[in-house]
Structure 1
Amino acid sequence: MSKPSIYVREADYARLNDLAQAALDRNFEVADELLGELERASVLPSDQVSTDTVQIGSTVTYETESGQTRTVTLVYPGEADIEQAKVSVLTPIGVALLGLAPGQAIDWRARDGQNHQLKIVEVKDHAATGA
């Protein structure tokens, strides 16, 4: 599957890039994947990124290849909390979610080496969730 077009807010781009660069030594695969996603992303001013595009702070519902749906909020690493369904952008699933919109699907590789696919069902804007 080819990768879908993704969009990242200009306000988050530099921080995400710095985060990925800083993580290269300790978490190379995920950091390298995030850098690759940032490289192919269209970087837009915040007011030009659709509110239904997954960004930091967005709450997203996605469907797995097995048909299960999950709802998580994409956050920076220091805010991650699996019990509250807050997923770090510096995880394989977090990198996969970044910049996608409803209807888009992407293949991603988990830390255990397993390949997965997810499809975005719904995105709630970060401003609407208070994040």
Structure 2
Amino acid sequence: MGFFDFGLPPIIVGEADRHDLVVLALGGVNHSADEADDLLYELDRARVINDRLLPNDVVRMGSSAVASIDGGEPQILRLAYPGENPPNGISIFSAFGTAILGLRAGQTMKWTNRNGKSHEVVVHSVCNEEHV
């Protein structure tokens, strides 16, 4: 993700996802140091809550979200761990995967990457069928 803009939206992460993602990021396998830093930054600023109290419209690992990337048409994205290949999967270590973690339907994340390019992702809706 790189250099984040000020005014970032608040994000919420469940305790189990936070734990698993910190371990994964610190493990250093299947991602770069920059990707791990970006994910750890987001996890550090997240409000962490008990998994049972996590609202159903929050993007978490395994969520499917309808989102628009950089002003494009809405598309379905499924937040996945590295090595998983679900339909419409997007790795948590990709810039857009890290960006949607913890967002709720209706929220927008904007940032500038390390190369100076601005990006934006808008989450329109979230489906957490296994968490209903």
Q: Which category describes the TM-score, using the shorter chain as reference length?
A: 0.7 to 0.9
TM-score, normalised on structure 1? 0.85
Report the structure, 1 or 2, having the larger helix content. 1
* CA 1:31–1:68: 2 relative to 1, 3 Å: same
Q: Is the 8 A contact 2:30 2:82 kept in 1?
A: no
Runs of 4+ in structure 1 deviating by more than 6 angstroms, as ranges, are none
TM-score, normalised on structure 2? 0.84
Q: Is the 8 A contact 2:71 2:120 kept in 1?
A: no
Which runs of 5 or more residues in structure 1 are unaligned?
none
Which runs of 5 or more residues in structure 2 are unaligned?
1-5
Alignment of 1:20-99 (within 5 A): 20-23=25-28, 27-81=32-86, 84-99=87-102
Q: CA deviation at 1:32?
A: 0.4
What is the number of equivalent residue pairs in this alignment? 127
Can you list the C-alpha shifts for 1:13-71, whole angstroms capped at 9, x where unaligned? 11100111123895021110100000001111111110110000100011234241111
Distance 2:23 2:59 in 1: 19
* CA 1:70–1:22: 2 relative to 1, 3 Å: same
Structure 1 vs Structure 2: percent identity of aligned residues?
32
